Structure 1
């Protein structure tokens, strides 16, 4: 703290001295009134940047330099007439008051920002708890209930019932794992620790990996025709796979059962395009601007979902310099389009 004050004192006084020297070098080109305004402006700038003590020192120095070098007789620290006395003390008063008020205003603004940031953090924390309470409690209850059932009536349970319970436990475990991954991915985006690991990637294989991660009841309604003409592209396959999965998983939640979900890929003008379209109700125009916000969920979207998937998808795509856009299809449903600048092998 003392070292910072020392450097602020040094920089502040040096700045005022430098400005005064420059004005003095101009000679009769600037009068004492212009110099007073220039030095006062410099004190105001310092008050915005520095603590109060170095600023007051700069203000006092500016008044002394104005007296010695710009109020006749020059150079002399004495003042001989009423006008000079008035100029000196009025300037000193204005400079000191300006320094104090500007410094107080800066501190007040900081308090307001801190208060707003605190309120925002509390709101985000409450939203996180509300969003994840169901997402975490439900699969945990499923896992505990399934294990208790297997432990209590293991000898009496039929093989198909055992397999059904194990499938429910597996689904719940995958759901928990997905939420933990979402939180970790959002943390990486928020803290700026996300690092791209670009490598050559087969886009068709990437899409098939996404489909394999979906629950069995959803994989059957995915429509994807691999494009054998697509070149290999250089990107972080893991991040883009996560982004595409988020869009496809979102589509499964808002598309009626048995209705198809289509995935299409293409490469045009050095850009990789990945489209995910569903057969749901589409996105209300008033909601599109909020769709990719953290924890945001469409009104009347039912239970389930933490509201992180689309936000993470957008963050991962933008980390590649790409974009994610959403539009409503003429025939009904929503269309999400990922556009990525992607390097291809040189021929």
Structure 2
């Protein structure tokens, strides 16, 4: 049990892997470099998993990289691994024994087989009924301590990221009868005092004639954007959708159709990003996904190439747009005053150092063709 959740694959490590591969294999095409990066990330996560059969480990690794690293944009932790494992059938010895040994290793203690089976069953039941999420790992630790399982008292309970908390020493001994009696008397006094005060307040209430209902005007919807540090010209503004569709149709783009068009427009509004910036990125990454491509519908699910490429991470247009937008907002922060915003985003979004020039060129061309309502 460590002072804080152990991060197995942090954004810094991913960035370092990408930089290393980019320099060491600079002569390879970008898609092959992306495969090398993905393989390195997979091997890092695989080493941290319980000793399950290989097919199970590969499945869990894919889920962790997809759901935690790509979607949530957070490091993989021990708590994430434990939560992912709870979907397995631990009635099988080839699965129960590895998770038992792995948990003992993480907690640095020895847990009786029957006791652990009960703890694991509670964790699985809690996840299925109440969707405890990352709390499953914390609850297992607390229950292990409460049931008297020995542990290293010099260590601190490992909590899930963002749940900073102290270890609470659970009282295992029963309270004395005298202390319980005192608590009971104080509770009765408190309840009695509250009731008396309530009756006095009721006696002072003056009955009034019912007042006519107050007619209120509908409140205009307030949209709260996801904060970013993009310059004003790259933040959200309404655009002429008809002109946008015409521009995309000239490119024979599948993104001119639904659900792709409004999925991107809606996320742009929600995340406070200029819609044309998102479309410009699809132009740089996938030439706006021409309908003539035999795999156009697959590519259109991830035209931003989030999580390396559309072929490695094929999801929905809504999810890939949201991931791309969150990445843009995250990378827009802490930008030096003398640094171009798209160039600043380029440092991590793409391995190609000329990516920002391509996106900027496409964005300017789109703006010339598609005048926003504000710019008119």
TM range (shorter): under 0.3
Please report the TM-score for the alignment, with normalisation by the length of structure 1: 0.21
Larger Rg: 1
Structure 1 or 2: more strand by fraction? 1
Comparing both chains, which one has the higher relative contact order based on Cα–Cα distances under 8 Å and sequence gaps of 6 or more?
2
Please report the TM-score for the alignment, with normalisation by the length of structure 2: 0.20
